[in-house]
Amino acid sequence: MRNLILSIIMAATTIMAQAVSVECSSGLLSQLVTNKSITALTVSGTMDARDFVFIADSLRTLRTLDLSRASITAHHSDKALFLNEFDYPSQAIPSGSLASMENLTTLRLPAEATTLGEAALAGCTRLTSVTLPSTLTIVGAYAFAGCSALQEVTLPAALATLADGAFAQCVALKKVNFGNGAGNLAIGDRAFYGCSNLTAISLPASTTSVGAEAFAATSLTTLQASSLSKWASMGDYAFAQTPLTHVELPTRLAQIGWGAFLYIKSLGSISLPRQLGSLPPYALAGAEGLTRLELGQTGIDSIGERALYNASQLATVTFPTTLTRVGSEAMGGNIGLQTITSNANVVPEAGHDVWAGVNQPAVTLKVPTSAMADYEAAPQWREFTIEAGSILGDVTGDGVVDVVDINAIINVLLGKNSASEYKNPADITGDGEVDVTDVNAAINILLGRVMASGNNIVIQAPRPETISIVADGGMRMQMKVRAGINVCPGLAPGHYTVSLCGRKHQVVIE
């Protein structure tokens, strides 16, 4: 029994020796911790870059590091301590300071820290738990890159910058909890690149931009971002090579990068923003599961080369009135194509081999009646079977949008009219359904509404007419509009007066 008691006492003493708590003054941690084999350290008081050097160089056996009660003070060094840096600001974990701490599993950062430096924790391959303070505004480039055991992280609402590669190759990461702050959040290039176990993400309302390859090579299946009113740009290949099946993007998103959704074979549906200016090269190349693409409600003026290349099951696509160019091989390999509806009154320029591999005579091209002859004469376009298309809102097909059309749409809702018979002109919003929103849209057309959308003016006209658009400086232009939704694209910021239906409408392009 005596031997057992002695063994217990010795074990407890060993555990106590391996776990140390110290009250520190900046630069003096090495004098307070003499046992360099400890596995747990709690620091309170103050510390600076010199103390991080001591931890990184001398305490390689640490498994638990609690800095939550410590405050980081500024320090200037005559020699570089981390990554060729000489000045270390207060409340900032120095760049590279805890990188490759191969035994570290649990970390609590100082409660008042505002910055986690570049590669600060990169390569901590056993890190499973990290607590970030509510004051943190910057997570530096590659801060957690290669933390291959980290499964969950909670990011504070105050976060403004999630820099390039911040969580790149965190292959075990399954859950990211974003705080919803009132500020703005920029997500950098490759921020979550290669996080192969990350299957879902809920971006916060503060998101303003998502960088190149930010979520590429993850396992995301859904991107629901239609409510993110601040999100304005998406970088190249941002979601490339993921198993996304459904994507909804916010209206304000005006720019997506090259190959943003490249080689997503599982993608079944995508809702593109109304303010989108162009569909860039390779944007949806390889989207083999996509069957329908509605661009009619966007303001895009160009479809880039190979933008829809090998979207082999794409059956129907609608082009907007603003479209002026379709790039080379943009729809090459679209062997499932059945119907194209072009709302462009002027035939868009076509690059070389736009529809390479497509049996064009078997595809119906629906175009504005006034432009049929032009499409029939245009190279590449004339290879389709061309028909006069319907006018959005003109359910009765008489060339105008009036009360009779609104009643017809209401009757579709009530089941009195066939949804399949009237669906194309009645689905004004382009969401694939005929519902109350389409009734409201038809009323707006009937009333002759004019509004700004990005750098475009959207004209909702109840009947064909020639309208005038006058800029503040006196520049005047005339435009022929048809019944339904028309777009005057690419206008400079300023005030405009649009004459429509005998009334003058004031529009501001910001």
pLDDT at 8: 41
Q: Looking at the structure, do residues 377 and 291 belong to the same domain, yes or no?
A: yes
> Which of 63, 82, 111 corresponds to the end of one domain?
111
Mean pLDDT, rounded, of the chain: 90
Averaged pLDDT, 118-126: 97
At 303 the pLDDT is: 98
CATH number of the domain that 318 lies in?
Answer: 3.80.10.10
Q: Quick one: 438 and 458 in the same domain?
A: no
Shared domain check, 276 and 373: yes
Could you tell me if 7 and 51 lie in one domain? yes
DSSP codes of every residue in 240-302: TT----EEE--TT--EE-TTTTTT-TT--EEE--TT---B-TTTTTT-TT--EEE-TTS---E
* pLDDT tens sequence across 250-292: 988 999 999 999 999 999 999 998 889 999 999 999 999 999 9
pLDDT digits (tens, 9 = 90+) for 210-253: 999 999 999 999 999 999 999 999 999 999 999 999 999 998 89
Rounded CA-CA distance 196/472 in Å is 53
HEC string of 101-127? CCCCCEEECCCCCCEECCCCCCCCCCC
pLDDT of residue 284: 98
Are 437 and 456 contained in the same domain?
no
The alpha carbon torsion through 421, 381, 374, 277 (nearest 10 deg) reads 80
pLDDT higher than 50, residue 5: no
Residues 434 and 456 both lie in one domain: no
pLDDT at 186: 97
For the chain, give the percent of residues with pLDDT over 70: 95
Q: Which residue in the block uniquely carries the two structure tokens 């997503």?
A: 264
pLDDT digits (tens, 9 = 90+) for 288-326: 999 999 897 788 999 999 999 999 999 999 998 889 999
- 208-217, 304-313, 332-341, 440-449: least confident range: 440-449
> Tell me: the pLDDT tens digits for 373-418?
899 999 999 999 999 877 778 877 777 888 888 888 888 888 776 5
Q: Examine the domain organization and report whether 380 and 453 are in the same domain.
A: no
Q: What is the pLDDT at residue 40?
A: 97
Arithmetic mean of pLDDT, 317-340: 95
The stretch 342-365 carries a mean pLDDT of 95
Which has the minimum average pLDDT: 57-71, 215-229, 445-459?
445-459
> Which pLDDT belongs to residue 420?
53
Same domain, 476 and 427: no
So what's the pLDDT on residue 445?
87
Q: pLDDT at residue 421 above 70?
A: no
Q: Is the pLDDT of residue 23 over 50?
A: yes
Residue 26: alpha-carbon gap to chain centroid: 42
Which structural domain range is residue 499 located in?
A: 448-509
| 104 in a structural domain | yes
Q: Which residue has the tokens 């970088």?
A: 235
3-state secondary structure of 30: helix
Question: What's the CATH number where 492 sits?
Answer: 2.60.40.3770
Say yes or no: 269 and 365 in one domain: yes
* Alpha-carbon gap, residue 375 to 14, rounded angstroms: 85
Whether residues 361 and 459 fall in one domain: no
- Any domain includes 201: no
User: Whole-prediction pTM value?
Assistant: 0.79
Element (H, E) at 201: none
Residue 206 located in a structural domain: no
Give dist(CA 490, CA 510) in Å, integer. Answer: 12
Q: What pLDDT sits at residue 316?
A: 95
Residues 428 and 456 in one domain: no
Q: Which has more confidence, 426 or 148? A: 148
Please report which confidence band the pLDDT of residue 10 belongs to, taking 50, 70 and 90 as the band edges: very low
Residue 431 pLDDT level (bands cut at 50, 70, 90): low
Helix/strand/coil percentages in the chain, nearest 5: 15, 25, 55
Task: Classify residue 65: in a domain, yes or no.
Answer: yes
- Name the helix (H) or strand (E) containing 337: none
Domain count, the chain: 4
Percentage of the chain lying above the pLDDT 90 cut: 68
Q: Which of 90, 111, 132 is the last residue of a domain?
A: 111
What is the pLDDT, as a whole number, of residue 417?
66
Assess whether 380 and 278 both reside in one domain: yes
Residue 437: inside a domain, yes or no?
yes
Domain boundary among 111, 129, 159: 111
How far, CA to CA in Å, does 406 sit from each of 420, 458, 485, 506?
16, 20, 15, 26
153 occurs within a structural domain? no
Q: Please tell me whether residue 63 adopts helix, strand or coil conformation.
A: coil
234 belongs to a structural domain = no
Task: Give the per-residue pLDDT at 423.
Answer: 56
Q: Is residue 124 part of a domain?
A: no
Identify whether the C-beta of residue 304 lies closer than 8 Å to the C-beta of residue 258. yes
What average pLDDT does the segment 159-172 reach?
A: 98
Q: Are 130 and 150 in contact (CB under 8 A)?
A: yes
Is pLDDT of 94 > 80?
yes
